[in-house]
């Protein structure tokens, strides 16, 4: 599936597809949301869940890797730097 095809789906279809075929990459907190990052077919999807989980998550899909920056602070690269 392409990014454009995914973007044309309903929010329910997007969420169901991510839960069944997405690759979980990372999580972060943003305000009252837990944001879960997935990768699928060359693009990225964020699911914004409220802490109470009472609603279907808000979906944001993107291909621009600049949106990955909030996740980078959680990656420990110390082992890569020490020889």
Q: How many CA atoms lie within 13 A of 3 on its CB side?
A: 11
Confidence grade of residue 82 (pLDDT, cut at 50, 70, 90): low
Least confident stretch, 2-6, 51-55, 60-64, 77-81: 77-81
Range of the domain at 56: 3-81
- Could you tell me which residues are beta bridge partners of residue 35? 28, 48
Residue 72 pLDDT level (bands cut at 50, 70, 90):
confident
Q: What is the average pLDDT across 34-61? A: 89
Tell me if 51 sits within 8 A of 34, measured CB to CB: yes
CATH of residue 69: 3.30.67
How many domains is the chain partitioned into structurally? 1
């Amino acid at each position: 599936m392409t990014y454009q095809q995914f973007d044309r789906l309903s929010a329910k279809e997007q969420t169901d597809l991510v839960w069944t075929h997405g690759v979980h990459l990372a999580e972060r907190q943003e305000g009252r949301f837990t944001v879960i990052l997935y990768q699928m077919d060359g693009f990225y999807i964020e699911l914004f869940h409220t802490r109470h989980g009472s609603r279907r998550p808000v979906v944001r899909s993107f291909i621009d890797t600049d949106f990955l920056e909030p996740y980078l602070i959680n990656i420990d690269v110390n082992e890569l730097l020490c020889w």
